[in-house]
Structure 1
Amino acid sequence: VVVRRGAQVWAYENRCPHTGAPLDWRPGQVLNPEGTHIQCALHLAQFQMDDGLCIHGPCLGQSLQAVPVE
């Protein structure tokens, strides 16, 4: 999963730390409706874009697995 805010880009494995389910509810759809956070399709957990930290949902305090961006 690759997300961008302005010139900044972050990448994470397409897997929620809660159950290991894919984050996308449709191919390429991983953001909440406001476009401000990464959102898991299964339980609607929300993650910060810049560090992958879960700020809402069943995996609160856990983080997405970052992938290096080249």
Structure 2
Amino acid sequence: MTNVGPSNSTYIAEVQSLKGLVVKVIPEKIVFTKGQKRVPFEVSFCGKEAPSGYNYGTVTWFDGRHSVRVVFTVNVD
């Protein structure tokens, strides 16, 4: 994620997905320090309990004032 706001911003991840699709975000909290503009994050999926076919959802990063939304689609066999 790239920070275009003030330095020292902290964002928390919130996941929304269809029931049965397990979505894990690492890290769940991103802290930008002064001079740091980019921080990587990973998203993993487990569809053992999800319905087959396309499942979708969002990861929304929120700092209390601003939000960044990432939309995803996962095809479960």
The structure with the largest alpha-carbon Rg is 2
Whether these two folds match at TM > 0.5 is no
Question: TM-score w.r.t. structure 2 length?
Answer: 0.29
TM-score (norm 1): 0.31
Structure with a larger share of its residues in strand: 2
Which is bigger in relative contact order (C-alpha 8 A, separation at least 6)?
Answer: 2
